[in-house]
Amino acid sequence: MTGKTVKKILPLLLALVLALPLLSSCGEKGGNAPASRTGVPAGESAPPSGLEDSAPSGLPGGTTAEVPGETEDVPPPSGEEKKRPDPEPVVAPVGQPVVVVLSVGAPDVTELTSVDLRAAAVAYMQKMANVVWTAGQKMDFSEIAPGLIFEEGSTYLGLPYNGNRSGRPEEFYAALENGVYSKSRTPANTPGNTCSTSILTAWQVVGPRVDYAYTIDMMPFVRENGVVPVGDVPWENYDGAAGAAGDTRASVLLALPEARIYEAYALSKPGDAFMRQIGNSGHAMMVTGETVTARDKNGAIDPLNSYVILTEQNTLIRFDREYPSTWGYDFKALFSDLYREGYLPVTTPELRDNKTETPVFYMDAAPDLSGIEKGEMIAALESNFCVYEVNVELFGVGPRTGLIASRVVYPHARRVPLAGQIAKLGVADLPAGSYILRVTASTPLAEGEALRVAFTKGE
């Protein structure tokens, strides 16, 4: 594009709807942790009595909420660099930036049915469970649960159980140095998750509206949590009501004939979850394999020979995997054990119906670029799904062709303000010349460009 052509079209706004494969979502706009319906503030640890579980049948657990995270100028995880082509050179006159905006305001969205949603949710759950890392210092998380200590120099498998946030592998990998995590000794600042938020993060890969903070918020009757029942289960019988501690086993599970609960178990599929809440103790696990149902000669389910394959995040460090881990991985749970412990199956509408929205990226408004040469720009990226990663890149044009600076942010939010990120690129200190600012956003299954600005700084 020539400077003459640029002058004819400045400022340029190209409204293009970006239709991509699957993105992920999280809570309300603004990037905050989901609001807890339990009275425990989102983003804070549960009280000492906790939402922890010590189930005797090998089905333990606990839950909490999330906070956003950020990392700058980090290498891609495990050497798997994302290859994005450099933007085409565009030279803009001084003080007249050229703007390419991929849709201003939320565009119409269409149905997306081309992705195996269950496989996508399970794959992300397994990805979280298989992160290999070494503790660079002793990480004593026993304030969450007795014995939850990651020893210096020991190698572990799976994101750490941190008691108060919903972390992702991308964020954790970015914090490693040669496979060693030394960033923080405290749970609050360690990218990790809990039993319920690990499932939340995996569900958010495929569902734009699932939103809860604790296991107690996963029950299908809780308002706007994006969770629905599996099978014919009377969740309205729960004796604690929304946000109040009750007993799913006593008030829901035992309200039905045992055989009817087993039939609900038999309907569970990969990506669904089993959860329970008994007083202040809650736990949740994801189905990560095919459910096997055995029946007797009369067609009744045999609970001692029927089982599901589950994966869970937990407070207990176990030693039955390649390295010590807080994750139970693809283990077998008999229907009889699940029933005795009071577990019930739940899922999301997207998994139930095998369809979701087509993800889109867009700007909340046309960017204010009056201060772009000083690194100032008022704009925010938004999506109908949660954005897991944002790359803000600064390229030179002409003698300084190529990438000059970049930042990576892990917001886990639907709305991502860009002003602060752009200022931290050092635009104000750049010498005279032509530059391109590019913003790309990605989720576990998709990546797309959301904004491109070409500008020239004078002498």
The Cα–Cα gap between 282 and 152 comes to 30
Q: In sequence order, what are the residues at sequence separation of 6 or more whose Cβ sits closer than 8 angstroms to the Cβ of residue 297? A: none
Write down the pLDDT at residue 347: 97
Write down the pLDDT at residue 273: 98
- The first and second tokens of residue 279, run together, are 């007083």
In the predicted structure, residue 82 carries a pLDDT above the cut 70: no
In the predicted structure, residue 45 carries a pLDDT above the cut 60: no
Report the 3 state secondary structure along the chain.
CCHHHHHHHCCCCCECCCCCCCCCCCCCCCCCCCCCCCCCCCCCCCCCCCCEECCCCCCCEECCCCCCEEECCCCCHHHCCCCCCCCCCCCCCCCCCEEEEECECCCCCCEECCCCHHHHHHHHHHHHHCCEEEECCCEECCCCCCCCEECCCCEEECCCECCCCCCCHHHHHHCEECCEECCCCCHHHCCCECHHHHHHHHHCCCCCCCCCCCHHHCCCCCCCCCCEECCCCCHHHCCCCCCCCCEHHHHCHHHCCHHHHHHHHHCCCCCCEEEEEECCEEEEEEECCCCECCECCCCCECCCCCEEEEEEEEEEEECCCCCCEEEEEEEEEEHHHHHHHCCEEEECHHHHHCCEECCCEEECCCCECCCHHHCCCECEEEEEEEECEEEEEEEEEHHHEEEEEEEEEECCEEEEECHHHHHCCCHHHCCCEEEEEEEEEEECCEEEEEEEEEEEECC
Q: Higher model confidence: residue 41 or residue 271? A: 271
Query: Could you count the other beta carbons within 10 Å of the beta carbon of residue 384?
Result: 19
- The first and second tokens of residue 444, run together, are 């576990």
pLDDT band at 69 (very low <50, low <70, confident <90, very high): very low
Say if strands 132-135 and 180-181 run parallel, antiparallel, or are unpaired.
parallel
In the predicted structure, residue 116 carries a pLDDT above the cut 80: yes
Residues 311-340 have a mean pLDDT of: 97
In the predicted structure, residue 206 carries a pLDDT above the cut 70: yes
The gap from C-alpha 360 to its chain's centroid, in whole angstroms, comes to: 17
pLDDT band at 64 (very low <50, low <70, confident <90, very high): very low
In the predicted structure, residue 50 carries a pLDDT above the cut 80: no
Residue 357's φ and ψ, nearest 5 degrees, are -80, 155
The gap from C-alpha 85 to its chain's centroid, in whole angstroms, comes to: 26
Write down the pLDDT at residue 397: 87
Q: Is the peptide bond before 11 cis (omega within 30 degrees of 0)?
A: yes
Among 36-50, 175-189, 265-279, 356-370, the minimum mean pLDDT is found in 36-50
Residues 34-40 have a mean pLDDT of: 39
Residues 398-427 have a mean pLDDT of: 86
The Cα–Cα gap between 239 and 252 comes to 8
Residues 330-343 have a mean pLDDT of: 96
pLDDT band at 100 (very low <50, low <70, confident <90, very high): low
Q: C-alpha distances in angstroms, 29 versus 383, 388, 411, 446?
A: 9, 13, 11, 20
Residues 201-205 have a mean pLDDT of: 93
The Cα–Cα gap between 263 and 113 comes to 28
In the predicted structure, residue 38 carries a pLDDT above the cut 50: no
User: Is the pTM above the cut of 0.85?
Assistant: no
Residues 137-154 have a mean pLDDT of: 95
Q: List, for residues 293-320, the tens digit of each pLDDT value.
A: 999 999 999 999 999 999 999 999 999 9
Q: Where are the domains of the chain?
A: 3-24+69-112+357-457, 52-67+113-356
Q: What percent of the chain has pLDDT over 90?
A: 41
Q: Higher model confidence: residue 23 or residue 262? A: 262
Q: Which long-range contacts (CB under 8 A, 24 or more apart) does 75-83 make?
A: 75/174, 77/169, 77/170, 77/173, 77/174, 77/176, 78/173, 82/442, 82/447
CA torsion angle 90 96 97 102 (round to 10): -100
**Helix 195-203, helix 117-129: angle, nearest 10:** 140
- The first and second tokens of residue 291, run together, are 């459910």
Residues 258-278 have a mean pLDDT of: 96
Tell me what the pLDDT averaged over the chain comes to. 78
In the predicted structure, residue 95 carries a pLDDT above the cut 90: no
In the predicted structure, residue 11 carries a pLDDT above the cut 60: no
The Cα–Cα gap between 330 and 333 comes to 10
Cβ atoms of 206 and 350 closer than 8 Å: yes
Residues 341-358 have a mean pLDDT of: 92
In the predicted structure, residue 443 carries a pLDDT above the cut 90: no
